[in-house]
Amino acid sequence: MFKKSNLLLQLVKRYFVMDSNQGTLIRYHTKQDYPDKPKEIIPLNKIQGVRRMHAGLFYDKEFSYIELLCQKRYIFACRNVHVANKWVVYLVQGAIYANYVENLLKEESLRSQDLSQIALTYFDQTSDEIELNDDEPGESLRNIPPSEQNQLLEQNPGSHRIEESKGEDEEEFVPRRSAEKKNLRGEKVCFESFKILKVLGSGAFGKVYKVEKKDTKKIYAMKALKKRNLILKNHLGYAVTEGNVLKAANHPFVLGLHYSFQTPFYLYFVLDYCPGGDLSFHLANKGCFSEDEVRFFIAELILSVQYLHSKDVIYRDLKPENILIDEYGHIKLADFGLSKVGMTEGRLARSFCGSPAYLSPEMVNRKGVGKAADIYGIGVVMYELLAGESPYFAEDIPTMYQNIKKAKLKPIKGISSKAKSLVTKLLNRNPEKRPGVKNKNDLLKDPFFKGLDWDDILNKRIRPPRLGYSEDDDIEMPMSSAGLFQDVDYNEKNRNINRVKNFTFVSNI
């Protein structure tokens, strides 16, 4: 945007970044200053008004103007009227959101200085069993009405995740590799143990950073989840499950967890770093993949999903952006935020969750989902890798749901009959009929994989496709703010605040 300078009537070009989760609108002098050298940080909760303004007598009529009332009055301008309108909408929404969160915290939690009480209230209603700290119970928080909760969810069509809890019973997952706070070497980790290098990706509850462990100089990916947002959006249970699945899982194609720890404000997972980025990134670069490439990725994906199923975990969020590429080009399935444990044969999970474009028909029809929904998910990924877009994609969510329920599958141009046949079978609307649901070998024996040695796949003896990507390529997210990210560890004064029980973990591997 352009900014009207304080004294002159002159407009100067500036670079702005709004981050509603951090509650800030940040002004940079130039784009190159981003993210380390902000000129001004405007707190969104201090915004009193935003409106589109008519160009006054003295203003250049080529521009569209925005007036922002905060601690002082700002006038911004955009060359494009639509961009100006968008900024107004975003600023208003950001201000409402920031105020909402701020008030909630002021009213309820800051009084007791303990967010865990909010969480306890939430989990009482949903009967999810999360053990929080043992502090004596304080006053409870009034519930956020579901209508407002929905407002808090991001309203993006397509790939962004949605969730709607039905209050299922969580069950304990398989034994952990190590639930200790220290490993055999007596090692303890905290926020201070790491140096943040850059942002790798971002999601609904926080960002993923590339970090270096200060003592060993080893590189990891660190996923930070903001407790406040998790609690406000009733998502803490999912984060705890994500941790439990990661702690228990041990498979070549599943992302490995090295440490998890918490500070008063964030939960952290320290994970294998995947320099190859995620498959959605490569898909965007290449348009689509060749059949041989798809065979390789889908074969590794099948083994990772079958592994999770063997542990009675359903994954529920299969999509290219959750499939990461390690330094050698093999996949690592990531993001267990929507996984569900204790899913023994025939059990169905009732929550409505996932990412709209990737939902199975049984999810859209709210019939409950089991392991078969992940098989459908493999089909969706396979389709997208071959075709370049998800099978029933539409610009708006209702149409997409309608398509998932009823529309005819759009044929993919130029693929073999074997590929076509497998993708069609995986996307069968009847869960029972998908290959590998009744007998997992049916999937491994599919003609599309003819000649493939599954032992070779599992033991990484097959050479991965070359994706034309080197570690030096910059895949930094444009909206990142690594330079601005700060946190503090627990200390003597705050040691009882917001602790999520049994979260800390140090791997022995």
Ligand X SMILES: Nc1ncnc2c1ncn2[C@@H]1O[C@H](COP(=O)(O)OP(=O)(O)O)[C@@H](O)[C@H]1O
Per-residue interface string for the shown chain with ligand X, residues 333-352, x marking contact by CB under 6 A: -xx-x---------------
CA angle centred on 149, ends 146 and 151, rounded to 5°: 115
Interaction between residue 446 and ligand X (CB under 6 A): no
Per-residue interface string for the shown chain with Mg ion, residues 310-339, x marking contact by CB under 5 A: ------------x------------x----
Closest CA to 343 of 315, 316, 318, 314: 314
To ligand X, the closest distance from the beta carbon of 145 in angstroms equals 25
Other CB atoms within 10 Å distance of the CB of residue 249: 23
Other CB atoms within 10 Å distance of the CB of residue 151: 14
Query: Which residue sits closest to Mg ion, CB atoms considered?
Result: 335
Interaction between residue 203 and ligand X (CB under 6 A): yes
For residue 417, the surrounding DSSP H or E stretch is: helix 417-426
Residue 119 or 221 having the CB closest to ligand X: 221
Residue 34 or 268 having the CB closest to Mg ion: 268
Residue 161 or 499 having the CB closest to ligand X: 161
Residue 273 tokens, joined: 């770093």
**Interacting partner of 370 out of ligand X, Mg ion, none (Cβ under 5 to 8 A depending on kind):** none
For residue 2, the surrounding DSSP H or E stretch is: strand 2-4
Residue 300 tokens, joined: 């590794």
Binding-site residue total for ligand X (CB under 6 A)? 21
Closest CA to 371 of 348, 342, 354: 348
**Interacting partner of 431 out of Mg ion, ligand X, none (Cβ under 5 to 8 A depending on kind):** none
> 298-317: which residues touch ligand X (CB under 6 A)?
none
To ligand X, the closest distance from the beta carbon of 274 in angstroms equals 4
Task: Please give the Cα distance from 497 to 176 (Å, whole number).
Answer: 26
Interaction between residue 204 and ligand X (CB under 6 A): yes
Q: Are 224 and 268 in contact (CB under 8 A)?
A: yes
**Interacting partner of 271 out of Mg ion, ligand X, none (Cβ under 5 to 8 A depending on kind):** ligand X
Residues 6+ positions from 475 with CB-CB distance below 8 Å: 200, 277, 281
Residue 332 or 499 having the CB closest to ligand X: 332
For residue 506, the surrounding DSSP H or E stretch is: strand 505-506
Ranges of beta strands (E only) in 149-307 are 162-164, 194-203, 206-213, 219-226, 257-262, 266-271
Binding-site residue total for Mg ion (CB under 5 A)? 2
Per-residue interface string for the shown chain with ligand X, residues 142-181, x marking contact by CB under 6 A: ----------------------------------------
To Mg ion, the closest distance from the beta carbon of 163 in angstroms equals 12
Residues that bind ligand X (CB under 6 A): 200-201, 203-205, 208, 221, 223, 255, 271-274, 277-278, 321-322, 324, 334-335, 337
Residues that bind Mg ion (CB under 5 A): 322, 335
